Amino acid sequence: MASVSVATKRMTMTDIKAKAQMMGITPGMMKKVELIHSIQRAEGCTPCYGRSDGTCPWLECCWRSDCFKTKA
């Protein structure tokens, strides 16, 4: 089974907005956390970004490294 690469650097707002637009989400003036939660919902995931207590079972999440540094 192929391993999934997890992003290790923080995505810029430009990167996040581009990802949102590719998914049909209009970023408008959404804040970073709101925009990432919208992306997570569109992907069928729990909108959990920034809500971790330092533990997370989702090892392949592309937001993981940034998530632990953010409080929503």
pLDDT of residue 9: 67
pLDDT of residue 32: 95
Q: Is the pLDDT of residue 13 over 90?
A: yes
Whether the full predicted model's pTM is greater than 0.75, yes or no, is: yes
Closest CA to 31 of 41, 17, 42: 17
Q: What are phi and psi of 13, to 5 degrees?
A: -60, -35
Percent pLDDT > 70 in the chain is 88
Across the range 33-50, mean pLDDT stands at 95
pLDDT of residue 24: 97
Q: Is the pLDDT of residue 3 over 80?
A: no
